[in-house]
Chains A and B, each alone.
Chain A
Amino acid sequence: MEKRGLAFYLLAAFFALFVVFLYGPTITIALLSFQGPRGNLTFPMRGLSLHWFENLFDEQMVGDFAGSFGRSITLALIVMLLTVAISLLAGLAFRRKFRGATVLFYLTVASLIIPSILISLGIGLLFAVMGLQPTWWGSALGAHLTWTLPFGVLIMFAVFNRFDRSLEEAARDLGASPFQTFRHVVLPLITPSLIGVGLFGFSLSYDEFARSSMTAGSDNTLPLEIYGMTTNVTTPVLYALGTMTTMFSLAVIFVCVTLVVVLRRK
Protein backbone atom coordinates (compact mmCIF):
# COMPACT_ATOMS: atom_id res chain seq x y z
CA MET A 1 0.00 0.00 0.00
CA GLU A 2 1.09 3.51 -0.83
CA LYS A 3 2.59 5.50 2.05
CA ARG A 4 0.30 8.17 3.44
CA GLY A 5 1.48 11.62 2.39
CA LEU A 6 1.22 15.06 3.93
CA ALA A 7 -2.13 15.60 2.16
CA PHE A 8 -3.69 12.77 4.14
CA TYR A 9 -2.67 14.21 7.50
CA LEU A 10 -3.81 17.72 6.60
CA LEU A 11 -7.18 16.42 5.40
CA ALA A 12 -7.56 14.16 8.42
CA ALA A 13 -6.91 17.14 10.70
CA PHE A 14 -9.50 19.17 8.77
CA PHE A 15 -12.01 16.34 9.10
CA ALA A 16 -11.34 16.09 12.85
CA LEU A 17 -11.93 19.84 13.23
CA PHE A 18 -15.17 19.49 11.29
CA VAL A 19 -16.36 16.75 13.64
CA VAL A 20 -15.49 18.93 16.66
CA PHE A 21 -17.44 21.77 15.05
CA LEU A 22 -20.42 19.43 14.49
CA TYR A 23 -20.51 17.88 17.93
CA GLY A 24 -18.72 20.39 20.19
CA PRO A 25 -21.71 22.66 20.92
CA THR A 26 -23.97 19.68 21.67
CA ILE A 27 -21.40 18.35 24.12
CA THR A 28 -21.11 21.73 25.88
CA ILE A 29 -24.85 21.89 26.54
CA ALA A 30 -24.86 18.25 27.63
CA LEU A 31 -22.24 19.14 30.26
CA LEU A 32 -24.00 22.32 31.32
CA SER A 33 -27.32 20.56 31.78
CA PHE A 34 -25.73 18.91 34.83
CA GLN A 35 -25.06 22.35 36.41
CA GLY A 36 -25.64 22.74 40.12
CA PRO A 37 -28.84 24.55 41.18
CA ARG A 38 -27.08 27.96 41.19
CA GLY A 39 -25.42 27.49 37.82
CA ASN A 40 -26.31 29.49 34.71
CA LEU A 41 -26.18 29.26 30.93
CA THR A 42 -22.40 29.49 30.55
CA PHE A 43 -19.33 27.89 32.07
CA PRO A 44 -18.00 27.54 34.77
CA MET A 45 -19.92 24.63 36.23
CA ARG A 46 -21.23 25.51 39.69
CA GLY A 47 -21.44 22.06 41.16
CA LEU A 48 -22.91 18.94 39.64
CA SER A 49 -26.56 17.92 39.92
CA LEU A 50 -29.66 16.54 38.26
CA HIS A 51 -31.55 19.63 39.42
CA TRP A 52 -32.45 20.85 35.91
CA PHE A 53 -33.61 17.46 34.73
CA GLU A 54 -35.98 17.32 37.73
CA ASN A 55 -37.22 20.78 36.78
CA LEU A 56 -38.25 19.48 33.36
CA PHE A 57 -41.41 18.01 34.83
CA ASP A 58 -42.33 21.19 36.69
CA GLU A 59 -45.03 22.75 34.50
CA GLN A 60 -44.47 26.21 35.89
CA MET A 61 -40.85 26.10 34.78
CA VAL A 62 -41.15 24.73 31.28
CA GLY A 63 -44.78 24.54 30.28
CA ASP A 64 -46.30 21.35 28.97
CA PHE A 65 -43.18 19.29 28.39
CA ALA A 66 -44.69 15.85 28.99
CA GLY A 67 -47.74 16.56 26.81
CA SER A 68 -45.79 17.98 23.88
CA PHE A 69 -43.22 15.17 24.12
CA GLY A 70 -46.03 12.60 23.93
CA ARG A 71 -47.65 14.35 20.97
CA SER A 72 -44.34 14.59 19.10
CA ILE A 73 -43.57 10.90 19.56
CA THR A 74 -47.07 9.84 18.49
CA LEU A 75 -46.94 12.11 15.45
CA ALA A 76 -43.44 10.89 14.54
CA LEU A 77 -44.60 7.25 14.74
CA ILE A 78 -47.59 7.91 12.47
CA VAL A 79 -45.38 9.85 10.02
CA MET A 80 -42.86 7.00 10.10
CA LEU A 81 -45.43 4.30 9.28
CA LEU A 82 -47.08 6.35 6.54
CA THR A 83 -43.72 7.37 5.04
CA VAL A 84 -42.53 3.75 4.86
CA ALA A 85 -45.80 2.48 3.39
CA ILE A 86 -46.37 5.27 0.86
CA SER A 87 -42.71 5.39 -0.25
CA LEU A 88 -42.62 1.62 -0.72
CA LEU A 89 -45.81 1.62 -2.80
CA ALA A 90 -44.63 4.58 -4.88
CA GLY A 91 -41.19 2.96 -5.28
CA LEU A 92 -42.89 -0.18 -6.66
CA ALA A 93 -45.07 1.96 -8.94
CA PHE A 94 -42.07 3.80 -10.41
CA ARG A 95 -40.50 0.48 -11.46
CA ARG A 96 -42.84 0.50 -14.43
CA LYS A 97 -43.90 3.26 -16.77
CA PHE A 98 -47.29 4.74 -16.05
CA ARG A 99 -49.15 7.84 -17.12
CA GLY A 100 -48.37 10.79 -14.89
CA ALA A 101 -45.16 9.24 -13.58
CA THR A 102 -43.06 12.22 -14.67
CA VAL A 103 -45.46 14.75 -13.15
CA LEU A 104 -45.56 12.80 -9.89
CA PHE A 105 -41.78 12.63 -9.82
CA TYR A 106 -41.43 16.39 -10.30
CA LEU A 107 -44.09 17.00 -7.66
CA THR A 108 -42.04 14.89 -5.25
CA VAL A 109 -38.88 16.87 -6.00
CA ALA A 110 -40.82 20.14 -5.69
CA SER A 111 -41.93 19.03 -2.24
CA LEU A 112 -38.27 18.90 -1.28
CA ILE A 113 -37.23 22.32 -2.56
CA ILE A 114 -40.28 24.47 -1.81
CA PRO A 115 -39.46 26.36 1.41
CA SER A 116 -41.14 24.94 4.51
CA ILE A 117 -42.74 28.24 5.43
CA LEU A 118 -44.74 28.14 2.17
CA ILE A 119 -46.11 24.68 2.95
CA SER A 120 -46.97 25.83 6.46
CA LEU A 121 -48.72 28.98 5.21
CA GLY A 122 -50.53 27.15 2.40
CA ILE A 123 -51.92 24.41 4.63
CA GLY A 124 -52.82 26.99 7.28
CA LEU A 125 -54.74 29.01 4.67
CA LEU A 126 -56.41 25.91 3.24
CA PHE A 127 -57.73 24.89 6.65
CA ALA A 128 -58.80 28.46 7.47
CA VAL A 129 -60.70 28.90 4.19
CA MET A 130 -62.41 25.52 4.61
CA GLY A 131 -63.33 26.40 8.19
CA LEU A 132 -61.35 23.49 9.68
CA GLN A 133 -59.34 23.65 12.90
CA PRO A 134 -55.66 22.85 12.30
CA THR A 135 -54.48 19.96 14.50
CA TRP A 136 -51.15 18.24 15.08
CA TRP A 137 -52.58 14.90 13.95
CA GLY A 138 -54.23 16.34 10.83
CA SER A 139 -52.76 19.41 9.18
CA ALA A 140 -49.32 19.05 10.83
CA LEU A 141 -49.23 15.37 9.86
CA GLY A 142 -49.80 16.32 6.22
CA ALA A 143 -47.20 19.09 6.42
CA HIS A 144 -44.61 16.66 7.82
CA LEU A 145 -45.33 14.10 5.10
CA THR A 146 -44.49 16.67 2.40
CA TRP A 147 -40.99 16.76 3.92
CA THR A 148 -40.44 13.05 4.76
CA LEU A 149 -42.00 11.51 1.62
CA PRO A 150 -39.54 12.99 -0.92
CA PHE A 151 -36.65 11.51 1.09
CA GLY A 152 -38.45 8.17 1.33
CA VAL A 153 -39.44 8.05 -2.35
CA LEU A 154 -35.97 9.07 -3.57
CA ILE A 155 -34.36 6.42 -1.34
CA MET A 156 -36.74 3.75 -2.74
CA PHE A 157 -35.98 5.06 -6.24
CA ALA A 158 -32.27 4.50 -5.68
CA VAL A 159 -32.90 1.08 -4.11
CA PHE A 160 -35.00 -0.23 -7.01
CA ASN A 161 -32.63 1.25 -9.61
CA ARG A 162 -29.91 -0.99 -8.21
CA PHE A 163 -32.19 -3.98 -7.65
CA ASP A 164 -31.26 -7.22 -9.40
CA ARG A 165 -34.37 -8.20 -11.34
CA SER A 166 -33.05 -11.67 -12.14
CA LEU A 167 -33.82 -12.71 -8.55
CA GLU A 168 -37.50 -12.02 -9.14
CA GLU A 169 -37.43 -13.79 -12.49
CA ALA A 170 -35.91 -16.83 -10.81
CA ALA A 171 -38.70 -16.87 -8.22
CA ARG A 172 -41.32 -16.55 -10.94
CA ASP A 173 -39.75 -19.37 -12.96
CA LEU A 174 -39.98 -21.54 -9.87
CA GLY A 175 -43.71 -20.89 -9.81
CA ALA A 176 -44.03 -18.14 -7.21
CA SER A 177 -47.02 -15.83 -7.50
CA PRO A 178 -46.36 -12.06 -7.76
CA PHE A 179 -47.30 -11.68 -4.09
CA GLN A 180 -45.08 -14.58 -3.00
CA THR A 181 -42.21 -13.11 -5.01
CA PHE A 182 -42.68 -9.79 -3.28
CA ARG A 183 -43.12 -11.27 0.18
CA HIS A 184 -40.25 -13.78 0.10
CA VAL A 185 -37.73 -12.29 -2.34
CA VAL A 186 -38.12 -8.52 -2.71
CA LEU A 187 -39.19 -7.56 0.81
CA PRO A 188 -36.35 -9.29 2.72
CA LEU A 189 -33.80 -7.65 0.39
CA ILE A 190 -35.14 -4.13 0.84
CA THR A 191 -35.97 -4.31 4.56
CA PRO A 192 -32.74 -2.52 5.63
CA SER A 193 -33.60 0.35 3.27
CA LEU A 194 -37.13 0.48 4.65
CA ILE A 195 -35.72 0.81 8.17
CA GLY A 196 -33.63 3.70 6.87
CA VAL A 197 -36.73 5.34 5.39
CA GLY A 198 -38.52 4.80 8.70
CA LEU A 199 -35.65 6.41 10.62
CA PHE A 200 -35.79 9.45 8.33
CA GLY A 201 -39.55 9.69 8.67
CA PHE A 202 -39.46 9.46 12.44
CA SER A 203 -36.54 11.83 13.04
CA LEU A 204 -37.49 14.50 10.53
CA SER A 205 -41.02 14.67 11.93
CA TYR A 206 -39.90 14.55 15.56
CA ASP A 207 -37.59 17.55 15.04
CA GLU A 208 -39.70 19.54 12.57
CA PHE A 209 -40.36 23.15 13.47
CA ALA A 210 -41.10 25.28 10.40
CA ARG A 211 -43.76 23.00 8.93
CA SER A 212 -45.51 22.68 12.30
CA SER A 213 -45.54 26.40 13.03
CA MET A 214 -48.84 27.22 11.29
CA THR A 215 -50.33 23.76 11.16
CA ALA A 216 -50.16 22.30 14.67
CA GLY A 217 -53.19 24.16 16.03
CA SER A 218 -53.59 24.83 19.74
CA ASP A 219 -51.56 21.88 21.08
CA ASN A 220 -47.80 22.32 20.67
CA THR A 221 -45.41 19.68 19.44
CA LEU A 222 -42.07 19.46 21.28
CA PRO A 223 -40.01 21.67 18.90
CA LEU A 224 -42.70 24.38 19.11
CA GLU A 225 -42.65 24.11 22.91
CA ILE A 226 -38.83 24.35 22.99
CA TYR A 227 -38.90 27.33 20.66
CA GLY A 228 -41.41 29.06 22.93
CA MET A 229 -39.10 28.41 25.88
CA THR A 230 -36.08 30.04 24.26
CA THR A 231 -37.71 33.45 24.57
CA ASN A 232 -38.52 33.28 28.28
CA VAL A 233 -36.44 30.55 29.93
CA THR A 234 -32.91 31.61 30.87
CA THR A 235 -31.79 28.70 33.06
CA PRO A 236 -30.00 25.43 32.23
CA VAL A 237 -33.38 23.68 32.20
CA LEU A 238 -33.28 24.59 28.50
CA TYR A 239 -30.10 22.55 28.14
CA ALA A 240 -31.58 19.67 30.13
CA LEU A 241 -34.45 19.59 27.64
CA GLY A 242 -31.98 19.75 24.73
CA THR A 243 -29.92 16.92 26.18
CA MET A 244 -33.04 14.79 26.75
CA THR A 245 -34.36 15.16 23.19
CA THR A 246 -30.91 14.68 21.63
CA MET A 247 -30.36 11.50 23.69
CA PHE A 248 -33.77 10.30 22.56
CA SER A 249 -32.91 10.93 18.88
CA LEU A 250 -29.56 9.16 19.29
CA ALA A 251 -31.31 6.18 20.92
CA VAL A 252 -33.71 5.93 17.95
CA ILE A 253 -30.77 6.06 15.51
CA PHE A 254 -28.92 3.42 17.55
CA VAL A 255 -31.91 1.04 17.51
CA CYS A 256 -32.31 1.40 13.73
CA VAL A 257 -28.60 0.92 12.99
CA THR A 258 -28.50 -2.16 15.23
CA LEU A 259 -31.56 -3.60 13.48
CA VAL A 260 -29.94 -3.10 10.07
CA VAL A 261 -26.67 -4.68 11.20
CA VAL A 262 -28.49 -7.70 12.66
CA LEU A 263 -30.57 -8.14 9.48
CA ARG A 264 -27.48 -7.90 7.24
CA ARG A 265 -25.75 -10.64 9.29
CA LYS A 266 -28.58 -13.09 8.75
Chain B
Amino acid sequence: MEIMIALLAGFLVAAGAYLMMSGKTLPYLFGLTMISNAANLIIFASGRLTFGKPPLIPEGAHSIEGASNALPQALILTAIVIGFGLLVFALALAYRSYYVLGTTKMDHMNASEPGTEVGS
Protein backbone atom coordinates (compact mmCIF):
# COMPACT_ATOMS: atom_id res chain seq x y z
CA MET B 1 0.00 0.00 0.00
CA GLU B 2 2.94 2.34 0.68
CA ILE B 3 3.61 2.69 -3.02
CA MET B 4 -0.07 3.47 -3.67
CA ILE B 5 -0.14 6.17 -1.00
CA ALA B 6 3.06 7.66 -2.41
CA LEU B 7 1.48 7.73 -5.87
CA LEU B 8 -1.77 9.19 -4.53
CA ALA B 9 0.10 11.94 -2.64
CA GLY B 10 1.99 12.81 -5.83
CA PHE B 11 -1.24 12.86 -7.88
CA LEU B 12 -3.00 15.02 -5.33
CA VAL B 13 -0.14 17.53 -5.13
CA ALA B 14 0.21 17.69 -8.92
CA ALA B 15 -3.53 18.07 -9.49
CA GLY B 16 -3.80 20.59 -6.64
CA ALA B 17 -0.91 22.69 -7.94
CA TYR B 18 -2.34 22.53 -11.46
CA LEU B 19 -5.73 23.77 -10.28
CA MET B 20 -4.18 26.53 -8.17
CA MET B 21 -2.30 27.74 -11.24
CA SER B 22 -5.53 27.94 -13.27
CA GLY B 23 -6.12 31.49 -12.07
CA LYS B 24 -9.81 31.01 -11.14
CA THR B 25 -10.96 31.23 -7.59
CA LEU B 26 -13.12 28.11 -7.30
CA PRO B 27 -10.61 25.71 -8.91
CA TYR B 28 -7.96 27.38 -6.76
CA LEU B 29 -9.89 26.39 -3.65
CA PHE B 30 -10.30 22.85 -4.99
CA GLY B 31 -6.53 22.67 -5.44
CA LEU B 32 -5.95 24.01 -1.95
CA THR B 33 -8.17 21.28 -0.50
CA MET B 34 -6.33 18.60 -2.48
CA ILE B 35 -2.93 19.75 -1.29
CA SER B 36 -4.21 19.80 2.30
CA ASN B 37 -5.38 16.21 1.86
CA ALA B 38 -2.06 15.20 0.32
CA ALA B 39 -0.15 16.71 3.22
CA ASN B 40 -2.24 14.74 5.74
CA LEU B 41 -1.71 11.57 3.76
CA ILE B 42 2.06 12.12 3.68
CA ILE B 43 2.27 12.70 7.44
CA PHE B 44 0.12 9.63 8.04
CA ALA B 45 2.24 7.38 5.83
CA SER B 46 5.49 8.75 7.28
CA GLY B 47 4.45 7.25 10.64
CA ARG B 48 4.34 3.86 8.86
CA LEU B 49 1.19 1.88 8.09
CA THR B 50 -0.20 -0.78 10.39
CA PHE B 51 -3.29 -2.63 9.19
CA GLY B 52 -6.38 -2.63 11.41
CA LYS B 53 -4.85 -1.98 14.85
CA PRO B 54 -6.04 1.35 16.25
CA PRO B 55 -3.96 2.75 19.15
CA LEU B 56 -6.51 1.92 21.83
CA ILE B 57 -5.33 0.46 25.11
CA PRO B 58 -7.61 -2.39 26.17
CA GLU B 59 -9.55 -1.99 29.41
CA GLY B 60 -7.35 -3.04 32.33
CA ALA B 61 -4.07 -3.04 30.38
CA HIS B 62 -1.33 -0.47 30.94
CA SER B 63 0.09 -0.28 27.47
CA ILE B 64 -0.04 -1.83 24.02
CA GLU B 65 2.46 -2.91 21.47
CA GLY B 66 2.23 -3.22 17.69
CA ALA B 67 -0.68 -0.79 17.27
CA SER B 68 -0.79 2.01 14.67
CA ASN B 69 1.52 4.92 15.34
CA ALA B 70 -0.55 7.33 17.43
CA LEU B 71 1.64 10.39 17.07
CA PRO B 72 1.00 11.20 13.37
CA GLN B 73 -2.71 10.59 13.95
CA ALA B 74 -2.78 13.25 16.63
CA LEU B 75 -0.93 15.63 14.33
CA ILE B 76 -3.23 15.01 11.37
CA LEU B 77 -6.33 15.40 13.47
CA THR B 78 -5.45 18.99 14.23
CA ALA B 79 -4.12 19.52 10.70
CA ILE B 80 -7.47 18.54 9.22
CA VAL B 81 -9.28 21.03 11.42
CA ILE B 82 -6.79 23.82 10.74
CA GLY B 83 -6.98 23.07 7.01
CA PHE B 84 -10.72 23.40 7.22
CA GLY B 85 -10.37 26.78 8.95
CA LEU B 86 -8.05 27.96 6.22
CA LEU B 87 -10.45 26.79 3.53
CA VAL B 88 -13.39 28.59 5.10
CA PHE B 89 -11.45 31.81 5.30
CA ALA B 90 -10.25 31.42 1.69
CA LEU B 91 -13.84 30.79 0.60
CA ALA B 92 -14.97 33.98 2.31
CA LEU B 93 -12.14 35.88 0.63
CA ALA B 94 -13.04 34.42 -2.76
CA TYR B 95 -16.64 35.42 -2.34
CA ARG B 96 -15.71 38.91 -1.12
CA SER B 97 -13.16 39.49 -3.88
CA TYR B 98 -15.79 38.62 -6.48
CA TYR B 99 -18.27 40.87 -4.74
CA VAL B 100 -15.89 43.88 -4.67
CA LEU B 101 -13.83 43.37 -7.80
CA GLY B 102 -16.45 41.73 -9.99
CA THR B 103 -14.12 39.03 -11.24
CA THR B 104 -13.07 35.50 -10.35
CA LYS B 105 -9.89 35.72 -12.44
CA MET B 106 -6.98 36.06 -10.05
CA ASP B 107 -4.71 37.70 -12.60
CA HIS B 108 -7.09 40.65 -12.62
CA MET B 109 -6.75 41.13 -8.88
CA ASN B 110 -3.42 42.95 -9.09
CA ALA B 111 -4.16 46.34 -7.59
CA SER B 112 -3.57 46.89 -3.90
CA GLU B 113 -6.32 49.50 -3.92
CA PRO B 114 -9.12 48.69 -6.33
CA GLY B 115 -9.96 51.55 -8.62
CA THR B 116 -6.30 52.41 -9.19
CA GLU B 117 -5.42 49.29 -11.20
CA VAL B 118 -2.10 49.23 -12.96
CA GLY B 119 -2.35 47.19 -16.09
CA SER B 120 0.50 44.88 -16.94
- Tell me if chain B binds chain A: no
Residues of A participating in the B interface, judged by any CB pair closer than 8 Å: none
Residues of B participating in the A interface, judged by any CB pair closer than 8 Å: none
